[in-house]
Structure 1
């Protein structure tokens, strides 16, 4: 992973998939690889729990999306800064048989030529199952180096000891799975987790910063090098949020704060013109945010082959 071309297509390894599942970006001296963990279908209403059904239906039609189910992309990132290789989030994992199109991270890391043992640090934006589940896949912990550092916000770790789902709007079966997965992750990796409060520089130019909102310790990761910038926004941003930043996602534990975080992040991205990647934007999820009247507009980058 010493250069962007090698990240994008390892030598002597022909493409294994018809549809690309990794995309390389250079941010100054920092190498970035966006990797798709797959796609997870969810009820469309979860994207806009506080929206009128007719308004959501109109938006889905406007976006040429089916009325009932939304295919939720799952993106993670691998970052090389200096001597450190950082995995940002870990996807859903394969311990959830109800989602056969997800849990692709282990084999997609391998196909990109990234050995688990080369990862020095992991940043978890928050402890929902589609961000930590990949670390619970059989063989993953054994493949990681014993001294790997897993960075999670302190408020996030504390929250999942006794999580509050009062303000969420999830299907009834989801909260118990979220709770058990987060607690399994905390127990399994307790000796490797390093907590931080408001922000922490994981590697040169790689800073994890708490935003809260989606979960109490939800964090974004900002990459800065040679005047260039890219922010991994985690679950602060969803596809519907550009047109309707006030619509709350059913997985948000504090919907009002999540909306404030979303608006603040959009304004920050629009003013700076920096790149953004988010977990649930369509792969490769690399683009910029522009202001469009009272709302915002997502501007995907032109793929660089």
Structure 2
């Protein structure tokens, strides 16, 4: 398998008018960021603890619509030490929540020349439906390896046995859909789960580390090879989090802890200068973090063709 961006005749997805995959190297580790599509969600969920006028001003400054906009949804494929690792699996089928423009991961993996049978490991940053749903699409499980390993924090699996949504601020229907998807996922893939407590090396230079906050078992994935580093931050970082890291996202189950995690992570990334990729930053979401006074600044990478 080669994680390249070459066009191949006859493969699906060639008529798309926007790019949906972007390849880069982290030392000897191959990385491919893949767009699963976008999620149209209310802007109030960006900062449900913020003054509405302050949130409106931020949206206006960013040239974003005031009521709803499209959240990017990114996953990552990594190849290291002979292993092919999928980090998060996208939304899968639309769970009757008017999210028809996501759930593209399986087709876009195929368009990139990545066969599902080549995936040796899956790492889940957490078990929200837009991170596990792609594995529940009809026919996907049958195409995966019987010895597939799915790495997830033990605290995450435990949480979804009886999830608490009392601190979240989600649109109607989302809590029920999240519960149902997590329950179905564990039922389908329990024998494949490989849980860890705080940190686990999935492959050479590929380490999953539990952060908590967004969900109790939320983790980030750190890549390191040849003096280069990249962090896939999952849902620890959202676009508004650079300017306003203490604003709460509506999907955060422990918003205070999520803000603390976000600030610690952004400070660390600013200090190291390593690259950052995150689930809901605009595709391909590759960039670095700079410090700007009491806040942070997102520095997008220049695309390498």
Alignment TM-score, normalising by the size of structure 1: 0.97
1:9 equivalenced with 2:43 (yes/no): no
SS in 2 for 1:270: helix
Q: Is the contact made by 1:275 and 1:287 (CA closer than 8 Å) also made in structure 2?
A: yes
- Asked if structure 1 preserves the Cα contact closer than 8 Å seen for 2:243 and 2:297, the reply is yes
In 1, the alpha carbon distance for the partners of 2:23 and 2:95 equals 28
State which drifts further: 8-17 or 36-45: 8-17
Q: Secondary structure at the match of 2:237?
A: coil
Following superposition, the deviation at residue 96 of structure 1 comes to 2.5
Instruction: Give unpaired runs (5+ residues) of structure 1.
Output: none
Q: CA deviation at 1:229?
A: 0.3
Indicate the residue corresponding to 2:22 in structure 1.
Answer: 23
Question: Could you tell me how far apart the structure 2 residues matched to 1:138 and 1:161 are?
Answer: 24
Residue 79 of structure 1 pairs with residue 61 of structure 2:
no
Q: CA offset at residue 279 of structure 1? A: 0.1
Aligned residue for 1:236, secondary structure, equals: coil
Looking at structure 1, the residues matched to 129 and 114 of structure 2 have their Cα atoms a distance apart, in angstroms, of 23
* Equivalence map 1:122-271=2 (5 Å): 122-271=122-271
Q: TM-score, normalised by structure 2?
A: 0.97
Q: Displacement of 1:143 after TM fit?
A: 0.8
State yes or no: 1:280 paired with 2:280.
yes
The answer to whether the 8 A contact 1:291-1:297 is kept is yes
Deviations 1:157-196 (A, max 9, x none): 0000000111111123211111110111111100101100
Counterpart CA distance in 1 for 2:147 and 2:165 is: 34
Q: Matched residue of 1:187: which SS?
A: helix
Runs of 4+ in 1 over 3 A off after TM superposition: 10-16
How many Å separate the matches in 2 of 1:241 and 1:133? 25
Name the CA distance, whole Å, in 2 between partners of 1:206 and 1:179.
Answer: 29
2:52 aligns with 53
Paired residues, number: 302
Q: What residue in structure 2 maps to residue 63 of structure 1? A: 62
State the distance in 1 between where 2:226 and 2:211 align. 25
Do 2:94 and 2:102's aligned partners in 1 also have CA atoms closer than 8 Å? no
Matched with 1:99 is: 99
Partner of 1:89: 88
Deviation per residue, 1:39-90 (Å, 9 max, x gap): 0100000010100100000000000000000211000000000110000000
Tell me the SS of whatever aligns to 2:268.
Answer: helix
